[in-house]
Amino acid sequence: MSERKLERLFKKDVGVSIKAMTCLIRFKHASRMIQENDGKQSLSDIAYSAGYYDQAHLCNEIKAYTGFTPSQL
């Protein structure tokens, strides 16, 4: 099976692209880490742990998905 066919089947069955799903999973992981954080980890550390390039990318995704800043979560 080709990569493109797999992508099409995934989107047909799940409703979103593979890339969108991985972004959503990474976002959910990061937001859970932020909510459970009691000040032990910086936002930069959480961003790197969740697979983001840097803190700014994490903040931009949080704002895009929720409309809130990380401190408002």
Domains assigned to the chain: 22-72 (1.10.10.60)
The better pLDDT of the pair 73, 19 is held by: 19
Give pLDDT tens digits for 9-38. Answer: 999 999 999 999 999 999 999 989 988 887
pTM of the full predicted structure? 0.77
For 39-60, write each residue's pLDDT tens digit. 788 999 999 999 999 999 999 9
Q: What is the pLDDT of residue 45?
A: 93
Which token pair is 57?
């990318």
Residues 20, 13 contacting (CB under 8 angstroms): no
pLDDT at 50: 93
pLDDT of residue 48: 94
Tokens of 55: 């803190």
CA-based angle 67:69:73, to the nearest 5?
95
> Rounded to an integer, what distance in angstroms lies between the CA atom of residue 57 and that of residue 47?
8
